[in-house]
Structure 1
Amino acid sequence: MEIPQIPINEKERLEALQRLEILDTPAEKAYDDITLIAAEISKMPIVLINLIDKNRQWAKAAFGINFCESDRKHSICAHVINNPNEITEYKNITEVKEFDKNPLLEKLNPKINYYCGIPIVNKENLALGTLCVIDHKPNQLSDAQKTSLQALAQQVMLLFELRKKNSSLTKAKEELHKQNELLKNFAGTVSHDMKMPLSNMILTIDLLKAQYDKQLDFQGKKHLDYIKQASFTLSDYISSILTHYETDKIADKNNVEEIDVNHLLEEVIDLFHIQEECEINFIEENPVIKVNKIALEQIFINLIGNSLKYNDKNKIIISLNFSKDQHYYYFSVTDNGVGIPEDKKDSIFDLFSIATSVDRNGRKGNGIGLSTVKKLVEGLGGKITVESREGQETSFKFSIQKYSQKKTA
């Protein structure tokens, strides 16, 4: 018996094999299907997808034989990988001197007489293993059969590479999810821990103004008012962060109840205590729908709030519309406000993205609200879009998937 030679590029070949992370993985249908097709093409009873590791031959897939691995010294495929660009065919392997008294061949029952190995080669022309077909009697493949098997061997290599890419993407996704969870927990902890000190700060400012009203001059009172306003701004910012990171909990599709949409809108608008001249056109019909009320309320608070804040007209006009089909509810909130610049439309739903520098009262936004709205809408199975003409109007249109309770037997 002749021991297979070690390829001159063995170090690079083994590194390439290890990078695939394919060795010792469970059986997969895609590779089993390849062996089934190869058996049909070749009309052979045995097909293997073998990979040559440092000291062993390992089978990723096997057809017609119960085989997992063997010593590399006894492997026929280990000979084949020394010629990565050639098909190796032994019409009657019992007559080949280099395999005489080969322990692997001698223990197989029934015996192997025919072997044909097609190298599985990567882009660097490194043979990682073979697609081989085997028969119990002397045989021979036609040129057409060999060409077809070569194509299958190339497909095996593509499957290896695709599997590796998918595995890398899965790992990256898991790591991203892990980091996002850490960020959510951090943001939640910090935000909760800051809320109480801010509330105390605002309360202390009111106490100072009440207790030392006569001692404070105009400038002193102005400074306290500035600190109080800044505290409110920071408090709103923290609340927005908390809402943003809690959207997954808020947008539970199963947390639904029947609501009167116009009644919900009235409750939302009452929250703003509107002082400006404002015309609000409610939905003409009076729809009663089954949705996640908390999530829908939060969506409207953000969108209507923006319509009120980012409006430079003497009279604010907000129009609300509703429609539905078999699967979705559709809503729109349209206003006659400042509009959104063309170059900001694509990023308007990104976290911390701001379309205008200040609102109607000269306050700067935090860029969290619309990102939160998008997360809520998508969490409810819908989509949101925006249409806007700068200086004239903005219309946000969003959908929500209808709640459907699956019946169980």
Structure 2
Amino acid sequence: MSDIIRRDPRAEWIARNRLHPLHAAMQPALHSWMGPNGVIRKSLHGVGFIGPNGLKRIDRSGAQQGGAVKRTAAVEVQLPLHQVTAPAFYINVVPDMVGGRLSSHDRDLLGLARQLAGSDGAVLAVVFGEHKESAFATAGVDRLLVLDGHEFDGYSPEQRVHGLRAVDNQYNPRHWLLPDSRSGGGELGRRFAASLKERPATRVWQIKDGACIGRAGAGQEDLARPLPRLILAAAECADPVSETRHEVLPMELSTPLARSLPRIEDLGAVAVDPAAIPMAEAEFIFSGGNGVKDWALFHQTAAALGATEGASRVAVDDGFMARDRQVGASGTWVTARVYVAVGISGAIQHLQGIGACDKVVAINLDPGCDMIKRADLSVIGESAAILQALIAAVEAYRNGAKRDAA
């Protein structure tokens, strides 16, 4: 076999042309990248490739020398199943489940739990109420316990602590892991720790050799301490599970959960002006670009949806939106759960700014633009007609809900 490295000019051209349909498939895997909190994440699995049986293979033939990755046709891989028939212990995880789905913070937490469980333990996820998640198996969950009931709806920290106490009495886990977040995990974890009369480790970002390291001093210092039973972990505390799938066996409490008399009553969410929400913290962004011709209709649609308004750089430069509403690498990096792009073609700087968004919806006339390729859901057509239909659908839904309530 010749040692000469052969070049493929066509493959190199596709790798440079971001508009080509095969552009994404021709990009080499990243070995390191910067996370949303400025922490450099490294992939220990960046070398090699996944074989047809889901096993990691290392290419020692030299085909990957100089960054030239051997590219083959993508095939659907069935990940190996990780089973724990008789767990020696449990690692309990209480994810935030914002919107009924696992967030990136939740997945990092499950990755950390997987490390603590090893091969003998099982990761038990405790979820409150109904959920929409269908990817527990690939997130590292071995057992799933759903505490369902109306008493867990809305803001109900006392009832949730009562439920966690029941789970703790039955399963006696080795560790409890909760996300140290503003979405409920931070408060719930501290209330649960006070109920157990235990001192938790907070803002933990690393666990190693029986000790944990957490942020302290307004994030300027690290505090190391022995690993406690209750851990409140920060984002990027571990790499999420990516190479195995798990059983997700359903679990139940042996005794019915006794109802507790709550001292806190949830009166519902407080109405907040979407325009007052900072772009970096908004969860629902309705963004307009050069393809928007009727900006009054755009503002009317955003108000009907209750979304925070955003814009592309072109729309801001043309004076249709304020500079603080600009989304992208040259504006604000956003992490919305839903991002709706109206008339935005998808410049590379804009796509970088929405890279951390969960779901992207694109409304555009051009079915081949980059935003359509990035979107999870695309609507091809004139934006004015689509926005009018969207307003009518929202009003019909709200009128129907009012009639059902009456």
The structure with the greater share of residues assigned to helix is 1
Instruction: Report which of the two structures shows the higher radius of gyration computed on alpha carbons.
Output: 1
TM-score range, shorter chain: under 0.3
The alignment's TM-score, normalised by the length of structure 2, stands at: 0.21
